[in-house]
Amino acid sequence: MLQVVCVKQVADTETRVKVAADGKSLDPAGVTWILNPYDEFALEQALAIREKQGSGEVVVISLGGAGVQSTLRNALAMGADRAIHVRADRAFDSLGVARALAAEIAPLKPDMVWLGRQAVDDDAAQVGPMLAELLELPCVTVVAHFELDGSKAVAEREIEGGREVVEVTLPALFTTDKGLNQPRYASLKGIMAAKKKPIDEKPAAPAEPVLEVVSLELPPPRGAGRVVGQGVAAIPELIRALREEAKVI
C-alpha cells in the first residue's frame, strides 16, 4: 500500500505575528518554523497503518522554498520512507498548491493521501478537498477516528453538535483532526536514518493565481479592561458589570 502525506512548514503557534514590509505577508524575522501540527496526525496515521500492515511505503511531499527540506527531514525522521520537495520560491494560493501537488501525486497512484485538516498559518482548510477533486478521489475531511478494513475505511468527523460516520472505498483522501492519534517523536535512530533517506526535489509547475493578497493586517488591539477585585468579595461587582455594562447575562 502506498500512502502519500502532504505536509507544510508553518510558523510555530507561539509566534507573535508581525507584518512584513510588503504589507501582505508574515515578517519571517525571528520565526521558528515547525511541521504543521495537524500534519503530524496525518503522518502518524499513515505510519501506524504501514506498521500494522507490515509493508508499504509512506511518501511525504511538501511545497515551498529551500527551507522546507528541514521539515521534510523531520517527517523522514518520524518514519516516512522518502520525500518529494516541490520547489516553489514564491507564495502559491491554495488551488495553486493543490494543482502542483496533484501533478506529483497522480503518477504515484496512491491508495491513501493524508493531510492535516488545515495549516495553522493561513487556516484555509482548502488544499485537502481541492486535491481530492483534482485527483478524482473521494475524501473525508477533519477525521477524528479512523478504521481500515481491507479496501474499506470508516472515518468519523466532527460536525456541529455531533459526529458524522463516513464509509469510503479506497483509494481516498483524508484530512486529519487533533485527537485522531498521538504523534510519535522522532527517535535518535530515526533522525540518523533520515539523513540517508532521499528527498527528490522538483520544480513546481507555474500556476495562474486565483487569489490576490490585498493586505495582511493586525486586528485592532482590545481595549484595556479592568480588574473588578480580589476573591469572592468581587463577585457582586462582576455580576453587576456583566449585567449593566456589558449586558451579556
Partner 1 sequence: MSILAFIEQRNGQVRAVSREVLGEATRLAEKLGGPVVGVCVAATDPGLAALGEAGATRVLLARHEAFAQYDAAGYARAVVAAVEAVKPAVLLFGATAIGKDLAPRVAARLGAGLANDCTALSAEGGKLIATRPVFAGKANLKLAFPRVPAIASLRPRAFAAVSRNGAAAAVEPLAFAYDAQASRARVTRLAASAGGKADLTESEIIVSGGRGLKGPENFKVIEELAEALGATVGASRAVVDAGWRPHSDQVGQTGKTVSPKLYVAIGISGAIQHLAGMSSSRCIVAINKDPEAPIFKVADYGLVGDLFEVVPALTKAVKELNEKSG
Residues 66-125 contacting partner 1, CB under 8 A = 93-95, 98, 120-125
Among positions 211-230, residues that touch partner 1 (CB under 8 A) are 211-219, 222-230
Identify which range of 42-50, 78-86, 165-173, 198-206 contacts partner 1 by CB under 8 A: 165-173
Q: Is 29 one of the binding residues for partner 1 (CB under 8 A)?
A: no
User: What is the distance between the alpha carbons of residues 175 and 4, in angstroms, rounded to a whole number?
Assistant: 12
Sign (positive/negative) of CA torsion 16, 19, 21, 26? Answer: positive
| Contacts with partner 1, 173-212, as mask; x by CB under 8 A | ----xxx-----------------------------xxxx
Please say whether the beta carbons of 26 and 121 come within 8 A: yes
Nearer Cβ to partner 1, position 82 or 178? 178
Q: Is 156 one of the binding residues for partner 1 (CB under 8 A)?
A: yes
Of the candidate residues 57, 81, 111, 133, the single one contacting partner 1 (CB under 8 A): 133
Q: Is 241 one of the binding residues for partner 1 (CB under 8 A)?
A: yes
DSSP letter assigned to residue 16? P
Q: What is the 3-state secondary structure (H, E, C) of 145-166?
A: EEEEECCEEEEEEEECCEEEEE
Residue 249 CB, shortest distance to partner 1, in Å, is 7
Total of chain residues touching partner 1, rule CB under 8 A: 86
What is the phi/psi pair of residue 150, to 5°? 65, -120
Q: Is 31 one of the binding residues for partner 1 (CB under 8 A)?
A: no
Residue 208 Cα distances to 61, 107, 136, 142, 205, angstroms: 21, 22, 21, 28, 10
Distance of CA 81 to the CA centre of its chain: 19
The C-alpha cell at 186 is: 522522532
Q: Is 150 one of the binding residues for partner 1 (CB under 8 A)?
A: no
Q: Is 151 one of the binding residues for partner 1 (CB under 8 A)?
A: no
Of the candidate residues 1, 31, 33, 37, the single one contacting partner 1 (CB under 8 A): 37
Which has the closest alpha carbon to 175: 126, 147, 141, 148? 141
Q: Is 141 one of the binding residues for partner 1 (CB under 8 A)?
A: yes
Residues 6+ apart with CB under 8 A from 222: none
